[in-house]
Amino acid sequence: MSIRAQILLLILLPLAAVALLLVSAQRIPVPEMGRGYVLRVELPRVDRPADLPEVAGRAGLPLVVIDAGHGGHDPGASGQGYREKTIVLGLARALRDRLEEEGRVRVALTRNDDRYLVHAERVDIARRLDADLFLSIHADSAGEAAEVTGASIYTLSNKASSEAAALFAERENASDRINGTDVGAQSDVVSTILVELSQ
């Protein structure tokens, strides 16, 4: 059989199969596109500030706002079955409970569930509450779990103390961007979609 005949068969056989199905009145089951399974969700207004969290403690005491980093669609660092967003939320809750127990400060969490807040929202919550201290908790990946010990503490500064600190700050501050797109101004639903598309 010649090459020309083989190519012709490759083109005509699928067409013949479709024509046979149509002639024999066999209906191929196809979902009704756009009907019945489309979920419509009203998105929250982007310009609406985040709700303020509950503040625990005696009035008049200094206020500490604790921010559990990441959350929602942003898991943070992951490894060995752990996700940063879950670890830091547990740490933030434990620290809040301990500070409440001691009774020397008032305490609030920027998030007390698995939701995502962009950096600007986290800082805005602390500012709107007129916090005396804003503490953001992260659990960065730093190698093999068996080899990692200790903790790192970073303080706010307009100038990085080293090149490594500048690179770390740049990476953290870029977490509101996905493939160059700023998701900070997007709702959590839209941000989740953008992350999934990016992946």
Smallest CA-to-CA distance from 74 within 187, 197, 198, 191 is with: 191
Using one digit for the tens of pLDDT, what is the confidence trace for 152-194? 776 666 666 777 767 766 666 665 555 455 555 555 566 556 5
Confirm if 85 and 137 have CB atoms less than 8 A apart: no
Say if residue 82 is exposed, middle or buried (CB neighbours under 10 Å; 0-12, 13-18, 19+): middle
What's the confidence (pLDDT) of residue 199?
A: 42
> Does residue 11 surpass a pLDDT of 80?
yes
The domain 63-143+159-198 is placed in CATH, from the list 3.40.630.40, 3.40.190.150, 3.40.50.620, 2.40.30.10, at 3.40.630.40
Domain ranges of the chain: 63-143+159-198
Q: Is the pTM of this model over 0.75?
A: no
The 3-state DSSP class for residue 33 equals coil
Residue 199's identity, in one-letter code, is Q
Check whether 48 has a pLDDT greater than 70: no
Does pLDDT of 51 surpass 60? yes
CA 198, distance to chain mean position in Å, is: 12
Rounded to whole angstroms, the Cα distance separating 132 from 111 reads: 18
Helix locations, 69-160, DSSP H: 84-102, 119-128
